[in-house]
Amino acid sequence: MPATPEVPDGKRPTLAHVAARAGVSVALVSIVMRGAYGASAATRERVLKAAEEIGYRPDTRARVLRSNRSRLLGVQFGLRHPFHTDLVEGIYAAAEPAGYQVALSAVAPTRGERQAVEALLADRCEALVLLGPEAPAARLAHLATQVPVVSVARRLRPAPPAVDVVRTADDEGARQAVDHLVALGHRAIAHIDGGRAPGAADRRRGYRTAMHRHGLDEHIRVLPGGLTEDDGARAARTLLAEKPRPSAVLAFNDRCATGVLDTFLRAGVAVPGEISVVGFDDTSLSRLAHIDLTTVAQDVPRLAELAVGRAIARLDGEAVPDGEQVVAPRLVVRGTTAAPGTD
């Protein structure tokens, strides 16, 4: 029996198996598998053939162990947030061309942010990209002492040193929405907010400031909301019960806006005829033909690209200036907004 059997039973083939089969050294197989310089074309072909035949597959875990780099980006996200899943798609698209792998760690009912991050770190991720993290700023700062940390869509005030923030100019987005509505002729514009959700404070502030600038202070109206459809529906029911109803509503996000829309439709309140509705995020939800929601788009590919780029820059030891990267939002006008009283 040979020292290294060609077909290792139920076990995973290794470099040694390939080497034995191809009749070369292990080191040479390593060179070939990495596509590195130092093997002749003929050998290369023999080795690749042998690897193919026994179904060899490089073991990333062993590889990482040796080379001190893992080239792994850890991403924490919420399974239930469409905005997060959209971002994850963008992160894959940005990371892989840069030569980085992505490790996903979801936040779920049975799995908090702490666990999600611990898993990523134990897995040797070189940097952490956290989508809408709700952990205390101090915790993020502590993490950042161990590994580069990028907070996406969650502003941190005061900014802890070394924690990068990539976010949309939420206040500016709210302003664009208000400007649009005012230009259409609206005056009584209400805002259904996101409570303590990441970004909510800025959107609220942006709304208030914009209303003030238009001299509409007396129409400022912030209703408690949240980030789910139910939150939006609840706030919408409050509005329905009112005598002079606002003629337009800016919701915290698209999910919230969807809840508002649906509640109005069911109550026979025409949108945008009787009331205009604006969302936030431009998730796939709002783009659907039958929702057709006017919304403030976050530039997801750009956010993903910046987040990945920032993490990589830190890893490459570039002198990255502290400070946020703020991406401009863009209002997308669709079918849920119109001049008031357009019935």
Residue from 168, 263, 336, 337 that binds its own copies (CB under 8 A)? 263
78 SS3 class: strand
Give which of DNA, its own copies, none residue 322 binds (C-beta under 5 to 8 Å, depending on kind): none
Q: Is the dihedral of CA 300, 101, 112, 165 positive or negative?
A: negative
145: contact with DNA by CB under 7 A: no
The nearest distance, CB 223 to its own copies, in angstroms, is: 16
Residue whose C-alpha is closest to residue 255's, from 226, 234, 276:
226
Question: Contact, 239 vs 249, CB < 8 A?
Answer: yes
241: contact with its own copies by CB under 8 A: no
67: contact with DNA by CB under 7 A: yes
230: contact with DNA by CB under 7 A: no
Question: Contact, 131 vs 84, CB < 8 A?
Answer: yes
The contact pattern for its own copies, residues 192-231, with x = CB under 8 A and - = no contact, is ------------------------------------xxx-
147: contact with DNA by CB under 7 A: no
125: contact with DNA by CB under 7 A: no
Residue from 16, 26, 48, 64 that binds its own copies (CB under 8 A)? 64
31: contact with DNA by CB under 7 A: yes
Residues 281-300 that bind its own copies (CB under 8 A): 284, 288-291
Residues 127, 285: Cα–Cα separation, whole Å: 30
Looking at residue 124, the DSSP 8-state letter turns out to be: T
Residues 84, 197: Cα–Cα separation, whole Å: 13
The nearest distance, CB 118 to DNA, in angstroms, is: 14
Q: Give 18 or 210: the residue with its C-beta nearer to its own copies.
A: 18
How would you list the strands of the sheet with 294-297, edge to edge?
221-223, 189-192, 248-251, 276-281, 294-297, 330-332
Residues 6 or more apart whose CB falls under 8 angstroms from that of 137 comprise 156, 157, 158, 160, 163
* Binding region for its own copies (CB under 8 A) out of 84-92, 133-141, 149-157, 199-207: 84-92
Residue from 5, 6, 7, 34 that binds DNA (CB under 7 A)? 34
Beta bridge partners of 192: 223, 251
The nearest distance, CB 331 to DNA, in angstroms, is: 48
Burial 149-172 (b: 16+ CB within 10 A, else e): bbbbbbbbeebbebbbbbbbbbbb
Q: Give 104 or 201: the residue with its C-beta nearer to its own copies.
A: 104
25: contact with DNA by CB under 7 A: yes
CB-based burial of residue 267 (10 Å sphere; 0-12 exposed, 13-18 middle, 19+ buried)? exposed
Residues 263, 238: Cα–Cα separation, whole Å: 11
> Applying CB under 7 A, which residues contact DNA?
11-12, 14-16, 23-28, 30-31, 33-34, 36-44, 56, 58-59, 62-63, 65-68
> Applying CB under 8 A, which residues contact its own copies?
11-12, 55, 57-62, 64-65, 68, 70, 79-80, 85, 88-89, 92-93, 96, 101, 103-106, 108-111, 118-119, 121-124, 146, 228-230, 233, 259, 262-263, 265-266, 284, 288-291
